[in-house]
Structure 1
Amino acid sequence: MRYLTLLLAFTFSCASAAPRNASTQAAYDYLLGIWGKNIIAGQADLTWRDSTDMAERVHADTGKYPALMGYDFMNYYDATEADGRHQTEEAIAWSRKGGLVSFHWHWRMQNGEFYTKKTPFRLPVNDYRDIDPAIDRIAQELKRLQDANVPVLWRPLHEASGGWFWWGSSREGYIALWRHMHQRLTQQHGLRNLIWVWNGQDPSWYPGDDVVDLAGYDVYENNYSEAYHKTRQHGKPVALTETSHIPDPEQSAANGEWWLWFLVWNDGAGPAGVTSPDNFWTGEYHNTNAHKRKVYNDPRVITLDRLPKL
């Protein structure tokens, strides 16, 4: 009876957060199928510098490509930067190579800023008509991805409970905003290519099983076990949605901490190979080259060459 109860709880927790098209359902089923057995290798793109190819930097150091690339809609709305406005095209190209695609959104609000200390905007929202134009603009890009048959691991409103982003200025406002965005994208815009990844960093900020498919945590300190078990509370598969140091797959497996994927953050300090705290992949400040090669060649780790056609 206890086994049956746990099985039913797991089945409910993994129920669909929104209708999906066939390719997105196939991607979601694949993720559920490998969780607890494999870890997907992921790398964040360098959004604000189009000329830097993070996937190639990974390949140069390991001889393999990541299976997952993470992109950002940061400069698609209320931005003055020239770079970062080809993320949709890059994601489509990556998908056509057989890779998985994740998107987050550093959402600029008033004065073109997203950090709480730099913008006066605060939650809760009294009238969503003031912010819906931004959601609608990003919906256009998500629709382009849908039209290109690209499933998206959609990670909006990330790191909310930390409070450093404006969408983390109120727990109740955050939950309401998440649910509003979910309704607007799936119902009004009819998007069916989204797998909803919650990354609120605090179980009390969870917006509900009906609007979340997967859970994630961003770790830049050495607290992987704490982060994993805290995020696991809601019964969803758990991903390491941003990180500096790549956990050792052997140790993660031994601890029973099966991250669905890891996503190393991007570089910010010049050419490949430069060791700097601002370079999260290249150089050896956060991970030695030997450790990178070890992880990317671990039989438990899914790289692009090991990713099936979904």
Structure 2
Amino acid sequence: MTYQRTAGSRLLVLIAALTLSTHSQGADPATCSVNQQSWPLCGTDNGGWSVENGSYCIARSFCGSIPAAASRSTPVDPSASTKTRAVFSYLRSVWGKQVIAGQADLTWKDAIDMAERVRADTGKSPALMGYDFMNYGLTANWVEGRRQTEEAIAFAGKGGLVTFAWHWRDPALLKTPQVNNANFYARESDASKNTNFMIPMANGALDKNSPAYQHINDGIDLIAVELKRLSDAGVTVLWRPLHEASGYKGDGWFWWGRTRTDGAPQAYANILLWRHMFDRLVHKHGLHNLIWVWNGQDPAWYPGDDVVDIVSHDIYDNADNKAYRSQLPTYQQALNTPKKRKPVALSENSYIPDPDKIAADKAWWLWFMVWNDGDGPAGVTSPNNFWTGEYYNTNAHKQKVYNHPNVITLDRLPRF
């Protein structure tokens, strides 16, 4: 997500017809079409992207839909903490029956409490709060949003669940005097908001000899410190890094999904980065309080069942117009992405799907996560306010959702 969403901003309803059509086998049986580009099928099927004879190729089994097998009962981290296992078991137990109410914090304005705004309007608190490490690493005195760890620990102390995203700013500027100018966009109309950073690749793998590789590790290590603080406080994190990776039709908005100039598939580069981050956080840093939430939003970008616990999608459906649809097509796309069944979450949204329509359509989002308000006062109806006011969700709809028997609010969570 970006700093603000507006009704006129980029449309994030990545309808299944768009992404599935880019992931299906082309007319030529020896190729696969991904994000409007044709790739040869690999001679050896390794289940994903690969390099053969010096050229990138894609496995036949990865190109097209695959029947989903039974889901796993434990997190993908075999050393996950006892509490993390308990949280994961709980999430699996409610998926398909109830929906967890979530609200994104206003991560760059410390004084605004989004959970309190929800409580003021509904009398109930969200069960899940969304935080972001976006401004960690910045050093200027004016920078806010560097208390997200403390806020998450406090909310978890009330019995709540927490999820973290990471608007990862230009890793090359992290340890330089220019760090406060670091951005995360790959392409914005305002060029001053962009970064040229690109995932380093060589010979079909991450280029470990590149300075960019060390910059990436520096960024991961910076956030590992915060995740360790959360672990030490007994907080399990629904960890959603590299969000919205595929952008629009495979053209990423952020540097971790940007258009490449070296011939490497953007999807493959992103997959390698995801798997590297998983390995570094879990094995090097010993972080076992993470439940891994993938938000690539395109099946061709899926990093593998062994490194993903939950599949998620972000939906800003400007055409919904207060119909509060279940968003079934997108749910089905996400559901059918893994080879093994994974819970599916609505990791960012504007309109909240009607719980009755979710049940009727069997679009059982594990949670919803209303995006935050702008930094203005509460109660103002504005396209910049995703919770407060009634631009997206009417007061009557908010009351219905937060008092619905199928919706889990903070008071209905168990003590883990």
Taking structure 2 as the reference length, the TM-score comes to: 0.71
Instruction: Please name the residue that 1:122 is paired with.
Output: 198
Aligned residues: 304
Aligned to 2:354: 248
Distance in 1, Cα, partners of 2:224 & 2:80:
16
* Residue type of the alignment partner of 2:217: D
Letter in 2 for 1:217: H
Aligned counterpart, 1:30: 90
Distance (Å, rounded) in 2 between the aligned partners of 1:66 and 1:15? 25
Out of 150, 164, 184, the residue aligned to residue 103 of structure 1 is 164
Larger Rg: 2
| Structure 2 residue corresponding to 1:201, chosen from 297, 315, 322 | 297
- Distance in 2 between residues matched to 1:237 and 1:79, nearest whole Å: 38
Show the counterpart of 2:241.
156
Q: Structure 2 residue aligned with 1:190, among 270, 275, 286?
A: 286
| Residue number in structure 1 paired with 2:136 | 76
Match of 2:69, SS state, is: helix
For the 8 Å contact 2:75–2:85, the answer to whether it is kept is: no
Per-residue CA deviations over 1:123-166 (Å, capped at 9, x if unaligned) read 34423222101100000000000000000000000000001011
How has the CA–CA distance of structure 1 residues 53 and 166 changed in structure 2, closer, same or farther, with 3 Å as cutoff? same
> 1:219, 1:242 within 8 Å by CA — same for their partners in 2?
yes
Segments of 4+ moved more than 6 angstroms: none
- 1:1-310 pair list within 5 angstroms: 9-12=69-72, 15-18=74-77, 19-78=79-138, 80=140, 81-109=142-170, 110=173, 111-117=181-187, 118-125=194-201, 126-127=207-208, 128-162=213-247, 163-169=252-258, 170-221=266-317, 222=320, 224-233=327-336, 234=338, 235-310=341-416
Instruction: Give the C-alpha shift of residue 15 in structure 1.
Output: 5.0
TM-superposed CA distance for 1:11, in Å, is 2.9
Letter in 2 for 1:246: I
Q: Is the 8 A contact 1:213 1:236 kept in 2?
A: yes
Higher RCO (C-alpha under 8 Å, 6+ residues apart): 1
Task: Give the residue type in structure 2 aligned to 1:285.
Answer: Y
Which blocks of at least 5 consecutive residues in structure 2 are unaligned?
1-65, 174-180, 188-193, 202-206, 259-265
Aligned to 1:3: none
Whole-Å separation in 1 of the counterparts to 2:70 and 2:396: 37
Shift in Å, 1:278:
0.4
- Kindly state the Cα deviation for residue 204 of structure 1 after the two structures are TM-superposed: 1.1
Q: Which amino acid is 2:332 matched to?
A: H
Superposition deviation, residue 227 in structure 1: 1.2
More helix by share: 1
Q: Distance in 2 between matches of 1:241 and 1:176?
A: 22
Structure 1 residues 8 and 198, CA, compared in 2 at 3 Å: closer, same or farther? closer
CA distance in 1, matches of 2:310, 2:139: 29
Maintained 8 Å contact 1:79/1:112: no
Instruction: Supply the RMSD in Å over aligned alpha carbons.
Output: 1.6
**More off after superposition, 222-231 vs 234-243:** 222-231
Range that drifts further, 217-226 or 91-100: 217-226
**How far is 1:99 from its partner?**
0.1
* Structure 1 position 269, deviation (Å): 4.3
1:242 aligns to what SS in structure 2? Answer: strand
Is the Cα contact below 8 Å between 1:124 and 1:172 reproduced in 2?
no
Tell me, which stretches of 5 or more residues in structure 1 are unaligned? 1-5
